[in-house]
Structure 1
Amino acid sequence: MKMGLEDRIFGIVIYILLTLLAFVTFYPFWNSAVVSFNQGMDTALGGVTFWPREFTLENYKIVLADDRILSGFVVSIARTIVGTFMTIAVTALFAYGMSRKELVGRNYYMTFAIITMYFSGGLIPTYLLIKSLGLFNSFWVFIIPSMVSVWSMIIFRTFFKEIPAGLEDAARIDGCGYWSTFLRIVVPLSGPVVATLSLFTAIAHWNDWFVASIYISTPDLLPVQTILKQTLDSNIATELNADTAAASHLAKRQEYTTKSLMMATMMVTSLPIIMVYPFLQRYFVKGVLVGSLKE
């Protein structure tokens, strides 16, 4: 069908707006990468935008100089894989039970679950609970406290309710119980929502540094994000402790290096999880819209 002049103008305007939106979204990340590869003192002069003016790998050398980085990556990868699997598995089971109409008291359970989304015990009670459970300085402190996500449960529950009841009835006629129905019927049909929520959960596990800073004192159990945060803090502390003229000059130079160091730290922590996105992109549209459907 031939497009009229108004349609063409409208299409051009839409493409221009989308191009501007893509640029505004991507440029901050690109500029951060450029600054991370630029010499710190030169960055302070300004004008570093689309390409490094004084290319250097010094920022990444500082970030990766810590011998704990490798073990930190191992802990982060293990935490992300195990934590994502356990959270999705337990949350999906919880959501499947909550989606069954024959579950006695499910409205009360749902109310109790939603309350936990808005209220918590606080940091000190949580710390005491974690310690009393023997999770202090344990790998499982990353996994067990976050095994149930109420927000993800609501998304799962909404998705499960949309599965045709006839499929489950047919499974029951064939002799399947709740477990068999869940594993053989529900889970295979839940690919989009599982992939989407798995990515969100993996990002949360990968980016978290706070839990380890509170509950972990053993260096071998620190994830890479916590190690990099400590590295960054130590460089900032070096600047603040400078009190001689020569040291102040060095601190000033280091101040700008710290800015580049921050960008390098962000790149190191962001790139691994960003590489996962292309493999799950096709699930996003359907998976993300599940939670927007009204019951």
Structure 2
Amino acid sequence: MRAKKTNKSVKPYEKGAFNIFNTIGMCIIMLVTIYPMWYALINSLNSGDALTKGYSFFLPEKFTLASWKLVLGDAEIINALWITGSRTIIVTIGSTLITAMFAYGFSRQYLYGRKFFAGLGFVSMYFSGGTIATFILVNWLKLYNTYWVYIIPALFGGFYNVIIYNANFKAIPESLFESAKIDGASEFKIFFSIVLPLSKPVLAALGVFTACGVWNDYGTTLFYTQSSSLQTLANYTLKLIKSSQAVEQLAATVMQSNQSVSALVNSSMGSGETTSKTVELAAMVLTTIPVVVAYPFVQKFFTKGVMVGSVKG
């Protein structure tokens, strides 16, 4: 005898309870994610005198734009913003295009030496030359302490991205490629006219990952540059944080030994509308604003691209 199929319907109160807990959980996650940004923003808009009395948690105690004017008026941070922004745009576009082009060739079954390239790619995912070997290569290529050290080594997005692109390209019907070849289309024509337009979600998703990684990168500046004119926004912010910590440690040390010198150090830390801490917070917020602003515009492509890549992969 065939077993009877039992369709258990979800009871209304069970569905309601799930929605309630789901909503509460999402609100908690959203609060934990957004509040640190809000906390840094309101304290960067707080006056130095008010901040020395204690941090604000919801709204600035004494609103002022002095710290932001100081940060945005600094030629060094404007240059760092230009270096970071231009680098992010060039690398994101170049890396996305070059990696997708490589993945398209890799997705074609008639590619000569396909298994060999696959083996090299998988090895590169788990093993690398290391920092010293990379430094020697960068120096040998005359990229050290130049703007191009930010661009050329980052133009290939890695074999992990190739795998995601490859899974998406294989899902495109082969009949489209055959029809295009019958019409006399070249491989470049097929790639730019068929493959790229049909892969916008995946391109956008991996483009967001690439842009965020490049924007927040500070290791390249740390290892491969010396000139202050080549520092990125992340390195500038890190320098501000370290400077602020050094001043605070100096003040704490001097305070224990000499009160008159301690008063002088405390005054040098900043009083009135700005302090080293308010400037530091303003720089931190400035670093995160572009990513926060840009993400909502690509969110729909990002979500769809991740889903497509995971299902097809």
Check whether the contact 2:81–2:232 (CA below 8 A) recurs between aligned residues: yes
What is the match of residue 159 of structure 1? Answer: 168
Cα 1:65/1:232, change in 2 over 3 Å:
farther
Matched AA of 1:193: V
What is the match of residue 292 of structure 1? Answer: 310
Check whether the contact 2:237–2:280 (CA below 8 A) recurs between aligned residues: no
What is the match of residue 35 of structure 2? Answer: 27
Check whether the contact 2:88–2:214 (CA below 8 A) recurs between aligned residues: yes
What is the match of residue 207 of structure 1? Answer: 216
What is the match of residue 285 of structure 2? Answer: 267
**Corresponding residue SS for 1:200:** helix
Check whether the contact 2:71–2:282 (CA below 8 A) recurs between aligned residues: yes
TM-fit CA distance, 1:294: 5.4
What is the match of residue 138 of structure 1? Answer: 146
Matched AA of 1:154: I
TM-fit CA distance, 1:49: 1.7
TM-fit CA distance, 1:241: 4.2
What is the match of residue 4 of structure 2? Answer: none
What is the match of residue 279 of structure 1? Answer: 297
Question: In 2, Cα distance between the equivalents of 1:189 and 1:135?
Answer: 36
Check whether the contact 1:158–1:290 (CA below 8 A) recurs between aligned residues: no
Matched AA of 1:88: T
Name the TM-score, length of structure 2 as normaliser.
0.83
Check whether the contact 1:63–1:228 (CA below 8 A) recurs between aligned residues: no
What is the match of residue 248 of structure 1? Answer: 262
Between the two proteins, the alignment pairs up a number of residues equal to 293
**Corresponding residue SS for 2:108:** coil
**Corresponding residue SS for 1:182:** helix
What is the match of residue 37 of structure 1? Answer: 45
Question: In 1, Cα distance between the equivalents of 2:102 and 2:125?
Answer: 15
What is the match of residue 186 of structure 2? Answer: 177
**Corresponding residue SS for 1:190:** helix
**Corresponding residue SS for 1:163:** coil
My pick for the range that moved more, 27-36 or 53-62, is 53-62
What is the match of residue 102 of structure 1? Answer: 110
Check whether the contact 1:59–1:261 (CA below 8 A) recurs between aligned residues: yes
Cα 1:175/1:229, change in 2 over 3 Å:
same
**Corresponding residue SS for 2:196:** helix
Post-superposition CA distance 1:37-68 (Å, at most 9, x none): 23456446556222122334344345445321
Post-superposition CA distance 1:190-216 (Å, at most 9, x none): 111111111211111211122123222
Check whether the contact 2:205–2:303 (CA below 8 A) recurs between aligned residues: no
Question: In 1, Cα distance between the equivalents of 2:185 and 2:59?
Answer: 60
Cα 1:246/1:191, change in 2 over 3 Å:
farther
Check whether the contact 1:155–1:290 (CA below 8 A) recurs between aligned residues: no
Cα 1:251/1:155, change in 2 over 3 Å:
farther
Question: In 2, Cα distance between the equivalents of 1:159 and 1:209?
Answer: 32
Q: 5+ residue gaps in structure 2? A: 1-10
Matched AA of 1:183: F
Cα 1:53/1:16, change in 2 over 3 Å:
same
Check whether the contact 2:46–2:62 (CA below 8 A) recurs between aligned residues: yes
Is 1:225 paired with 2:239? no
Identity of aligned residues (%): 37
Question: In 2, Cα distance between the equivalents of 1:40 and 1:117?
Answer: 48
From the CA coordinates, give the structure whose radius of gyration is larger. Answer: 2
Question: In 1, Cα distance between the equivalents of 2:261 and 2:114?
Answer: 65
Question: In 1, Cα distance between the equivalents of 2:260 and 2:129?
Answer: 49
Q: 5+ residue gaps in structure 1? A: none
Check whether the contact 2:143–2:149 (CA below 8 A) recurs between aligned residues: yes
Question: In 2, Cα distance between the equivalents of 1:79 and 1:237?
Answer: 30
Post-superposition CA distance 1:48-105 (Å, at most 9, x none): 2221223343443454453212222222221111111111111111111111111233
Check whether the contact 1:236–1:255 (CA below 8 A) recurs between aligned residues: no
Is 1:89 paired with 2:107? no
Check whether the contact 1:38–1:54 (CA below 8 A) recurs between aligned residues: yes
**Corresponding residue SS for 2:56:** coil
TM-fit CA distance, 1:249: 4.6
In the TM superposition, 1:51-130 aligns within 5 A as: 51-130=59-138
Matched AA of 1:27: Y
Matched AA of 1:202: A
My pick for the range that moved more, 13-22 or 135-144, is 13-22
Check whether the contact 1:154–1:291 (CA below 8 A) recurs between aligned residues: no
My pick for the range that moved more, 175-184 or 285-294, is 285-294
Choose which of 50, 53, 72 in structure 1 pairs with 2:58. Answer: 50
What is the match of residue 18 of structure 1? Answer: 26
- Aligned-residue RMSD, C-alpha: 2.6
